[in-house]
Amino acid sequence: MYGRYTQELGVYAKEEAARLRDGGVRDGAGLRRNTSVRSRTADLLEYQKDPCAKCQSCASRCQKFLISRVGEDWIFLILLGLLMALVSWVMDYAIAFCQEAQKWMYSGLDSNMLLQYIAWVSYPVVLITFSAGFTQILSPQAVGSGIPEMKTILRGVVLKEYLTFKTFVAKVIGLTCALGSGMPLGKEGPFVHVASLCAALLSKFMAAVFGGIYMNELRNTEMLSAACAVGVGCCFAAPIGGVLFSIEVTSTFFAVRDYWRGFFAATFSAFIFRVLAVWNQEEETITALFKTRFRLDFPFDLQELPAFAILGIACGFGGALFVYLNRHIVECMRKQKTINKFLLRKRLVYPALVTLLVSTLTFPPGFGQFMAGQLTQHESLVALFDNRTWCRQGVAEEFDYISHHHGWKHPQVNIFITLILFIIMKFWMSAVATTLPVPCGAFMPVFLIGAAFGRLVGEIMASMFPDGIHADGTVYPIVPGGYAVVGAAALSGAVTHTVSTSVIVFELTGQISHILPVMIAVILANAVAQSLQPSLYDSIIRIKKLPYLPELGMGHHEKYNIRVEDIMVRDLRYITLNSSYRDLQEVLLTSQLKTLALVESRESMILLGSIERLQLQSLLSLQLGRQRRLEYLCQLAQDNGTNDHLSSLTTDSTPSSPCAHTAHANTSTSARQVVRFLVSTQQIESIYFNFFFLLVISQIAEWEEQQLDLPVDFKNCKIDPAPFQLVEQTSLHKTHTIFSLLGLDHAYVTSMGRLVGVVSLKELRKAIEGSVIVTGVKVRPPLASFRDSGNSTSVSEVTELHKLCIRHRGLTLPRELNRRDNDLCQPVVS
Amino acid sequence: MYGRYTQELGVYAKEEAARLRDGGVRDGAGLRRNTSVRSRTADLLEYQKDPCAKCQSCASRCQKFLISRVGEDWIFLILLGLLMALVSWVMDYAIAFCQEAQKWMYSGLDSNMLLQYIAWVSYPVVLITFSAGFTQILSPQAVGSGIPEMKTILRGVVLKEYLTFKTFVAKVIGLTCALGSGMPLGKEGPFVHVASLCAALLSKFMAAVFGGIYMNELRNTEMLSAACAVGVGCCFAAPIGGVLFSIEVTSTFFAVRDYWRGFFAATFSAFIFRVLAVWNQEEETITALFKTRFRLDFPFDLQELPAFAILGIACGFGGALFVYLNRHIVECMRKQKTINKFLLRKRLVYPALVTLLVSTLTFPPGFGQFMAGQLTQHESLVALFDNRTWCRQGVAEEFDYISHHHGWKHPQVNIFITLILFIIMKFWMSAVATTLPVPCGAFMPVFLIGAAFGRLVGEIMASMFPDGIHADGTVYPIVPGGYAVVGAAALSGAVTHTVSTSVIVFELTGQISHILPVMIAVILANAVAQSLQPSLYDSIIRIKKLPYLPELGMGHHEKYNIRVEDIMVRDLRYITLNSSYRDLQEVLLTSQLKTLALVESRESMILLGSIERLQLQSLLSLQLGRQRRLEYLCQLAQDNGTNDHLSSLTTDSTPSSPCAHTAHANTSTSARQVVRFLVSTQQIESIYFNFFFLLVISQIAEWEEQQLDLPVDFKNCKIDPAPFQLVEQTSLHKTHTIFSLLGLDHAYVTSMGRLVGVVSLKELRKAIEGSVIVTGVKVRPPLASFRDSGNSTSVSEVTELHKLCIRHRGLTLPRELNRRDNDLCQPVVS
């Protein structure tokens, strides 16, 4: 029932164990024993210690917290926003400092080009290598974007070590170094991870200090999804875009009631982030990060829309290509065994080599002069969003009043060539750079490439229509900066499969005048990219093989047509109420499932609940464990008249407790007992005792067999009394919806209470991926074809109902045939 | 399982019935009979007609559609967008025409003030009265906003007549008249309804023409949620804000995979809507509806933020007051029985009176001169968003270059007084006007009041700081228009409890420079309003008593603490596999539930499924219906040797078919038979036959009793084999989540497969509303207190498990005690 059950159970088990360890629990009239989750470790502990009043006081304390602290969410969100804004601002400051330092070194050595080259190249190589090494040593989980992992975590899967303090430190420092190197990397993906880390750590801190609702697991998920919004929001100072982007990339179903949390935290965070800039005298007041100054009254002509649409479609293909390229690089390196082996041994060689290559190519006096190599991402973007036309004004004229523009100016080369070179080089560089084992995102590089592509299209348009294309008198020249904005939104939207990049560009540029071109281009880019490739984050999820349920594609109509019965596992393992311990053993040995179904009987197959594997293992070991063996031995000894000998042995080692009751947990003691027993039997060395010894062993074996034949006692076992059930006829589409909504791991397929199969995430993933990859051709799984002819499942359903009826009437009717109220009169078993 | 089941069943039943009616279904080896939904009407039809090949061809045709038409969604959305844009544009045109006509009449009669007054007043009275009458006659469902109804429909509830063509016509024409009257009403809420109507009708049309996926109910829901986005999007030319606003006001959980549908359709629709304006020479190019021209480089000072925050908080209180006022007016009129009776009899009097009052007060030469009475909503808004300061430039100076401004200019009265009067008068007028029985929304009037309030605050700020409040040299005067934008977003956000109004204002004004003040004010306004009152739409849902699940409030921590066992109904009605028809009759007579639980037996209480009431009724009438009686009579007659007489009777009326088999569906024939039989028995008039007749009647009564005692045959009954189950320990919070996620109507509470209770929407609503109203005080329901002491439910759970075990071992163990595989060896009943 309700997917997270298993995890809560885990948490509950841990808490219970911890509480038991702390002080033990009073075994109040045997009630608590039956209900609490009994992990084996907890069972092995003693029960007889002082009862603690902790549980009662704890409950009432929680109560108070729950009622009084309605405003706690606000405090938490404000703290989170503040913290993230500070982190973001400090990081930006540090990155700017790093980049300044590189420039200073580079320009200080302008007498000798070799020295200049070494300075230009060594700086990023050192930073990236340090970043890779640092994260590798401290926390390898900090590598990469973090959005795929957050998507998986919000889906309900627990990824170990992804939300620890170590990872936080590794991510922040690693990211600062990686971005400071000037490589084409972004900070937005990692910031989602950093914000989630912040939220998780803050939650832990608050829980430790205040307790109460901060313990609640549901609440923490709500906070994590708010944190993702904060991450994007304070990175771009784009609260609305941040919320929407984080929803699109991390959620499948979004609870609208959590919406305000994200908005509040992201707004607060973005506000503080920009206020810090004002206080630091960087800005006069709060404005956008990449402020544009396009004209308001006539931003674009209606006849330019086809150009925007073409730009969007091209960006769609470009985005798909980027994702393909990125995945292909990783897969290539994995497949090439020699490369793979080498890279695994020398982990820092690959980042160093890639950085060397990239920075060599961008070396300004070298090839870099043709591709604005000396500009940072920020500077390039500001230049690309400029509201004047570059080509019409000539390359030289009026170009240097914004200092960044000189990067684009080249005496010999056309501005078009520069832009094309910039796009092509940055494209593969970004695709390669995002595969580096450092904390890095791909959003910003892609955004930049998109902007450059848009600028290119805009400049071409401007040179084609130097006086604009408006028919009526007034001349409205074409604004290539608008194309740059549209291109940036479209390409980043295509790569991430989101439409909210449009909102992000409005917030980044501070202008919304190009809303329609942006929306049209983003939607077209998405349509193209989604039909060709998964999103970058889904692609990484596949590469990393994270346990995530893929999305149904855009044209997912065929999903209505596949049913659960086509994909479910029919040959499933289960336990019945009558199962013996032998069956249990067999089931545990032959299957690897985490949970097993409990049915009424093999005949009726009525699903009663599900039991976790661990629970069953503990049941089995309770029945056949060392304790029980020893008890049996004691019993045996008593029956055979060797009372004195054995009791002296047992009292020797365990002076206080009687043998058969309150069994002892000290394993070393019991082991010693057996050894002593054996030694003592051999010491006597009489035939009688040798024979007795053999007899004992055979008797133990016999006892074991007997024990295995006993029916399982489920009394001490925690059973999930209402596991999630589906019907055979449920469509794949609905199944996917339910699995994503409730974060399920598996669901039982039942028919009239009878268990007929099980569907897990694995089967579902296979079914979806199978049909997504081969769209339009192989959508029906093999079993689907049987369905149309004959409706066999429905027949069996009816037959089963009949069987049930017959079974029941067979039991009750012979006695009570033709009597009134034949089931109202049945005696109720107390 | 999965809430919508019941509806699909209904749809399926209808389709099945229609198919049977069309040509009959081949009774292929008895298979189809058992599986298809057998409504009584279908059963009464004949089965022996020609088998049709329709079913097979139909299935393969659907198949083709499903596979080939991936692009159908796009076509549908484009059509929807196009249609809605046209509707919106034509309606705007008509409204503008109406308002022009009024102005023309008013200004043409400026010689005589009385005539002028009559013209000014009669015009809206006639229009509103016509609108009220027209909608009343054609479709009363078209009255009001439509958003509350759409919220309920998207929640999974079927509201009859809300999505029909009649309603569409009534809504469009009624809305045009209502808005044309110049009353303070909005078109945004009704437009959501109109777009949904459009989508539903388009779906029906496409289903009729193409069939295939347009039949799918899930898909239609997806399309409806896209339609809501289109409604807002094409009303304000605000695609992004439209999508977000529609999500916030209509959804509880939103599927991110449906996101693109809304974006695509809303963008397309907004695009067409604006393109129409360009083609009609109203605009030069595509720009925002209420374009502002605030300065870009320094939109506001950091020190103005407290003023914005105060504005937001005040708007929050104002929004709550508006919702309270609106609800109070409706409740007042309902409670006053004399008023209520009068209004019910004369339905058109109330709208006429209200319109008369409102238009009298806005009469420009009268009181209207102090509150800009002659301006339409559009004109007022354009004036309020103006980027110049009104008070500093004086009232007279430079004021008339935009013609709308003269409405605000008054020789004797200060601009502040005008604004305050405008706000106060419009406030109550809007609250009253939105209670009129015409199609109308409240968003636009509230938006306007918010803008006026913001302008007021802005003007006060501007007069307090005439040179701005920036510390450094440059003078940046305060922009009151910015305050107007912020106020508009904040007040409309407070009334609707949404944050996406911020996005709507950016799209409406075409400027995003005030993003931070807007976000801060909207969030604060929401925080205040949400803690005081429900949203306007939720308030209307409560007034109209629509079957909707209320939201959990912002501080819903106490919900984690209430469990399902506290709110569930324990005394529930059910049927067992052994139930006799008598039990069935009793259950049907004593309960009014729509579905009944089917359990294995009274003793085990294992839940097998749920059956709809209708199905049970048809079962009962099949068993005891006229057909069966007649059959029995035939049988009886045969047994009593009156073969000739009766068989002559039956062959007389039904010449071809034997009596006892293939029972005939012609009800009039069978009635005739009985009458003839009775007549013939009386014709003979012998004591023997009289006696026989009495005997027959008593025998029929006896037969009936016997029939009632028979166990129910569930073979012909459609059973939902996996109804939704919860555990007793599920928290209210989780229950709410699951109910909203899956759109459930009720859920069974089970424990180890045993049915222990049922929770329906009603109980859940009670529990939530009970604890929402008395926040912080009475959060624990009476039963909750028993829980802490004793853990009684867990005991019973264990006991029940034991019982099950004992029951099973009682059946199997005596035979097989101490034998291996005691349940693996059990014979499987074929």
Q: Give per-residue pLDDT as tens, A369-406.
A: 888 777 888 888 888 888 777 775 544 344 444 555 66
Answer whether residue B44 shows pLDDT above 50.
no
Sign of CA dihedral A373, A375, A378, A381: negative
Q: Residue B607 has what DSSP assignment?
A: E
A 608-637 residues with CB < 8 A to B = 608-609
| Topology (CATH) of A302-390+406-544 | Clc chloride channel (1.10.3080)
B823 at the A interface (CB within 8 A)? yes
Answer whether residue B172 shows pLDDT above 70.
yes
Q: What is the 3-state secondary structure (H, E, C) of B362-424?
A: CCCCCHHHHCCCCCCHHHHHHHHCCCCCCCCCCCCCCCCCCHHHHHHCCCCCCHHHHHHHHHH
Q: What is the Cβ-side half-sphere exposure of residue A504, based on CA atoms within 13 angstroms?
A: 29
Q: Which single residue is written with the structure tokens 């499903």?
A: B66
Q: Do B2 and A252 touch (CB under 8 A)?
A: no
B60 or B625, greater pLDDT: B625
For the entire predicted model, the pTM comes to: 0.74
B414 or B196, greater pLDDT: B196
Q: What pLDDT band is residue A1 in, cutting at 50, 70 and 90?
A: very low
B 181-220 residues with CB < 8 A to A = 213, 216, 218-219
B554 at the A interface (CB within 8 A)? yes
**What is the C-alpha to C-alpha distance for residues A472 and A156, in angstroms, rounded to an integer?**
59
SS3 for B573?
coil
Do residues B338 and B111 lie in contact, with contact meaning Cβ atoms separated by under 8 Å?
Answer: no
Q: What pLDDT band is residue A103 in, cutting at 50, 70 and 90?
A: confident
Answer whether residue A361 shows pLDDT above 50.
yes
Residue of A nearest to B712 (CA): A805
Q: What pLDDT band is residue B688 in, cutting at 50, 70 and 90?
A: low
Q: Which single residue is written with the structure tokens 């684009």?
A: A408
Residue-level pLDDT at B800: 52
A551 at the B interface (CB within 8 A)? yes
**What is the C-alpha to C-alpha distance for residues A194 and A235, in angstroms, rounded to an integer?**
11
Closest residue to A578, CB basis, from B67, B577, B822? B822
Q: What is the Cβ-side half-sphere exposure of residue A798, based on CA atoms within 13 angstroms?
A: 17
Assign domain A68-280 one CATH number from 1.10.3080.10, 3.40.50.620, 3.30.390.10, 3.40.640.10: 1.10.3080.10
B785 at the A interface (CB within 8 A)? no
Closest residue to A256, CB basis, from B253, B752, B829? B253
**What is the C-alpha to C-alpha distance for residues A43 and B657, in angstroms, rounded to an integer?**
74
- pLDDT tens per residue, range A800-811: 555 555 555 554
Specify the range with the lowest mean pLDDT, choosing from A40-49, A114-123, A494-503, B371-380: A40-49
Residue-level pLDDT at A660: 36
Per cent of chain A over pLDDT 70 is: 72
Q: Do A253 and B252 touch (CB under 8 A)?
A: no
Answer whether residue B35 shows pLDDT above 60.
no
- pLDDT tens per residue, range B276-306: 888 887 777 777 788 887 877 778 888 888 9
Q: What pLDDT band is residue A207 in, cutting at 50, 70 and 90?
A: confident
Q: Which single residue is written with the structure tokens 């009632």?
A: B708
Q: What is the mean pLDDT of residues A430-444?
A: 90
Give the helix/strand (H/E) hosting A747. strand A746-751
Q: How many angstroms away from the CA of B557 is the closest CA of chain A?
A: 6
B194 or B254, greater pLDDT: B194
Residue-level pLDDT at A728: 75
Q: Where are the domains of chain A?
A: 68-280, 302-390+406-544
The amino acid present at B647, given as its one-letter code, is S
Q: Do B802 and A715 touch (CB under 8 A)?
A: yes
Q: What pLDDT band is residue B102 in, cutting at 50, 70 and 90?
A: confident
A 278-297 residues with CB < 8 A to B = 278, 284-288, 291, 293, 296-297
CA A760 to chain centre: 18
- Please tell me which of A232-241, A489-498, A635-644 the model is most confident about, judged by mean pLDDT: A489-498
Q: Residue B535 has what DSSP assignment?
A: -
**What average pLDDT is seen over chain A?**
73
- pLDDT tens per residue, range B396-429: 344 444 555 666 777 777 788 888 999 999 999 9
Q: Spell B614-625 as b/e; 16+ CB within 10 A means b.
A: bbbebbbebbbb
Q: What pLDDT band is residue B821 in, cutting at 50, 70 and 90?
A: very low
B64 at the A interface (CB within 8 A)? no
B147 or A62, greater pLDDT: B147
Give me the total of CB pairs closer than 8 Å, taking one residue from chain A and one from chain B: 401
Specify the range with the lowest mean pLDDT, choosing from A236-240, A719-723, B23-27: B23-27
Q: How many angstroms away from the CA of B804 is the closest CA of chain A?
A: 8
Two tokens at A148? 């795929």
Q: How many angstroms away from the CA of B702 is the closest CA of chain A?
A: 13
- Please tell me which of A254-268, A783-797, B589-603, B741-755 the model is most confident about, judged by mean pLDDT: A254-268
Answer whether residue A440 shows pLDDT above 50.
yes
Strand pairing category for B595-599 and B607-612: antiparallel
Do A68-280 and A302-390+406-544 have matching folds? Answer: yes
Beta-sheet strand order (sheet of A746-751): A725-726, A746-751, A754-760
**What is the C-alpha to C-alpha distance for residues B707 and B711, in angstroms, rounded to an integer?**
9
Give the closest residue to B37 by CA, choosing from B59, B58, B17.
B17
Q: What pLDDT band is residue A258 in, cutting at 50, 70 and 90?
A: confident
Residues of B in contact with A503 (CB under 8 A): 240, 503
Largest CA distance in chain A: 123
Q: Do A275 and B302 touch (CB under 8 A)?
A: yes
Residues of B in contact with A263 (CB under 8 A): 499, 519, 523
- pLDDT tens per residue, range B173-184: 999 999 998 888
Largest CA distance in chain B: 123
Closest residue to A506, CB basis, from B512, B580, B828? B512
Q: What pLDDT band is residue B682 in, cutting at 50, 70 and 90?
A: low
Q: What pLDDT band is residue B558 in, cutting at 50, 70 and 90?
A: low
Q: How many angstroms away from the CA of B375 is the closest CA of chain A?
A: 24
Would the ipTM clear 0.85, i.e. be above it?
no
Q: Do B753 and A293 touch (CB under 8 A)?
A: no
Q: Spell A774-792 as b/e; 16+ CB within 10 A means b.
A: ebeeebbbeeeeebeeebe
**What is the C-alpha to C-alpha distance for residues A783 and A438, in angstroms, rounded to an integer?**
46
Residue-level pLDDT at B830: 30
- pLDDT tens per residue, range B642-677: 544 444 444 444 333 333 333 343 444 444 555 555
Residue-level pLDDT at A36: 30
Answer whether residue B131 shows pLDDT above 90.
yes
Per cent of chain A over pLDDT 90 is: 17
Q: Do B805 and A499 touch (CB under 8 A)?
A: no
Q: What pLDDT band is residue A13 in, cutting at 50, 70 and 90?
A: very low
**What is the C-alpha to C-alpha distance for residues A285 and A237, in angstroms, rounded to an integer?**
14
Do residues A458 and A473 lie in contact, with contact meaning Cβ atoms separated by under 8 Å?
Answer: no
A398 or B368, greater pLDDT: B368
Q: Give ∠ CA B443-B448-B452 in degrees, rounded to 5.
A: 150
Q: What is the mean pLDDT of residues A574-595?
A: 80
β-sheet bridge partners, residue A611: A596, A719
Answer whether residue A812 shows pLDDT above 70.
no
Residue-level pLDDT at A664: 40
Residues of A in contact with B299 (CB under 8 A): 285, 287
Q: What is the mean pLDDT of residues B40-53?
A: 30
Residue of B nearest to A284 (CA): B298
Cβ count near A691 (within 10 Å): 10
Give the closest residue to B241 by CA, choosing from B520, B506, B516, B523.
B506
Q: What is the mean pLDDT of residues A581-593?
A: 79
Q: What pLDDT band is residue A612 in, cutting at 50, 70 and 90?
A: confident
